[in-house]
Amino acid sequence: MKVFYKPSKIDVMMKYNLTSRGYDELYGEEQIEKCLEVRREIKTLKDKTVLDIGCGTGIIEGMLLEAKHIIGLDISIEMIKIAKNKYKGDYVISWINADAENLPIKSESIDISLMITVMQNIPNPLNALREIERTLKIGGEAIVTYPKAHYKPEEILEDTSKLEFLKNIGFKTTCTKDIIVKLKNGGIGKRNLYKD
């Protein structure tokens, strides 16, 4: 893996708390493009519970509204406040202030997990992938994007090969600055590994 500065969780939280008010103006267009790429990878949302890890200001949530339930999770409380303000009303969206390496989510409760442009901000990316693995239902899918500036395809494949139940079922570079990786949980007998 490339050697680059990995910020601490507190650094990440502070950075996004400070930049939250201007985030959409600065990065919104680029993030919308990435979210559209990810949305095209999802076949159906009907009757699905979707977890968006690193939801930021809730850009992709507007593209997921046909899901049964959406959970937006972010380490920055200020980003979550902005996201909440975008989706007032009858939407079935829960917002959680937490980090990707310690998801306060019940094991095997998620149908689709998303993590868009977050990996470079996580001190231990493999721990975050293992948390996705733990929380996904058997047959569930995860879509994770990796910034091309930080990761080579072979590094991503090496990391995802270390997962016990999540298997890489799709890998593509996009016209955006990210590489999209699609994972599927085929974990037979997984229920015995985790306690809730």
Residue 2 is assigned to a structural domain of this protein:
no
- Whether residue 79 lies inside any domain: the answer is yes
In this prediction, residue 191 has a pLDDT band, given cuts at 50, 70 and 90, of very low
Domain count, the chain: 1
In this prediction the pTM is: 0.88
Any alpha helices (H) in the chain, and if so which ranges?
9-40, 77-86, 125-135, 153-160
Instruction: With respect to residue 3, please indicate whether it lies within any of the assigned structural domains.
Output: no
Residue 166 has what pLDDT? 77
Give 51's DSSP letter.
E
Rounded to whole angstroms, the Cα distance separating 9 from 38 reads 25
What letter represents residue 194's amino acid? Y
**Separation of alpha carbons 170 and 147, rounded Å:** 16
Over the stretch 100-140, which tens digit does the pLDDT of each residue have?
Answer: 999 999 999 999 999 999 999 999 999 999 999 999 999 99
Choose between 91 and 54: higher pLDDT: 54
End-to-end CA separation in angstroms for the chain: 33
